[in-house]
Amino acid sequence: MSLPHLAPEMALLERPLIDVRAPVEFARGALPGAVNLPLMDDAERHAVGIRYKEAGQGAAIALGERLVDGDLKARRVAAWRAFAERHPDAVIYCFRGGLRSRIAQQWLQEAGITLPRIQGGWKAMRQCVNAEIEAAAARPVLVVAGLTGCAKTELVQSLDVGIDLEGHARHKGSAFGRHPLQGPSQIDFEHALGAALSHATHGCVVEDESRMIGQLDIPLSFWQTMETAPRIRVEMPLDWRLEQIRKDYIDTLWRTYRDHYGEWLGWSLMRKQLSSALKRVRKRLGSARFQRLQRLQALAFREHQRGNTQAHEAWLAPLMLEYYDPMYRYQLEQSPYEALHVGDWESCLAFARDWSAALPR
């Protein structure tokens, strides 16, 4: 009986994915939502690879069958079967869509479950992702700009055609923007971006970003499109922006650390992150300004422990007014592009919705 397969483009449709590559391969990059349930672990894959080089494919297959046999084979099939029973529309893939995914399919079929594999495997899906990003670079893009604290990310997230670059990167794009949890690899970021762009077939709205978000690069072709794309600019009063910054960089950050690491360790890690972030901009602040903000930050941490997170505004306000705002205004002066619309958050959201509704279908 032939084993079913799907075109690699199907991987962008957000179906559950079983990645049967070895853990070391999975760690280098995988598709969004994929679960690593390997046919062989790293050591087994390494041994089979050596046998392949020394004696060819037949000998390598024979070694693999000896290494993954009996109870070990049964456990791996059971893991695939359990996943397939929870996700009947799951798809299997390996590196090239060849032997490993076919073996997994066959073993599952013998256990009474038939799942398709991705033709061409991870390599073909990677090519599809790259092609999707290139295609998106040729479509209309609208960029949402504005000073720090104008809730640009929330505006993008409110749109059907919004692409949350910072969300996919798990980083807010500034010295203070690192996410408490480990961010994706460059490949994982590109895969998530490609999958999101595949749904924005007529155009998209993104937040104004530099080429790098944390340690990740926006793919060059798409970033070049962003650089020359039309813009709208959100303008909000300082007190509104300050409250937004406190929610994003203090309240939400603290909840995330506390929920994942507990009260004591979470507090220590959050304080370390914010202190380190301030030190990263020390040279640009200058020694006197840095020391002043460092003292204010330390006082805010004490108040925070008493339940007063609003105390952080004492150091966040001068950081915005004396560092981030002047830096943004300088960049704005250097830009040759006029904004299509300048207004408050609600008016910019309405403009972006009208812009997306007018995209050619």
List the catalytic residues. Answer: 94
Structure tokens at 147: 């000073």
Residue with tokens 């203090």: 250
Q: Are 171 and 213 in contact (CB under 8 A)?
A: yes
Q: Measure CA 30 to chain center.
A: 12
| CA dihedral of residues 345, 348, 354, 360 (deg, nearest 10) | -130
- Please give the Cα distance from 10 to 336 (Å, whole number): 41
Conformation bin of residue 334: beta by default, left when phi > 0, alpha when psi is -120 to 50: alpha
Q: Are 339 and 147 in contact (CB under 8 A)?
A: no
Q: Are 238 and 206 in contact (CB under 8 A)?
A: no
- Please give the Cα distance from 293 to 278 (Å, whole number): 8
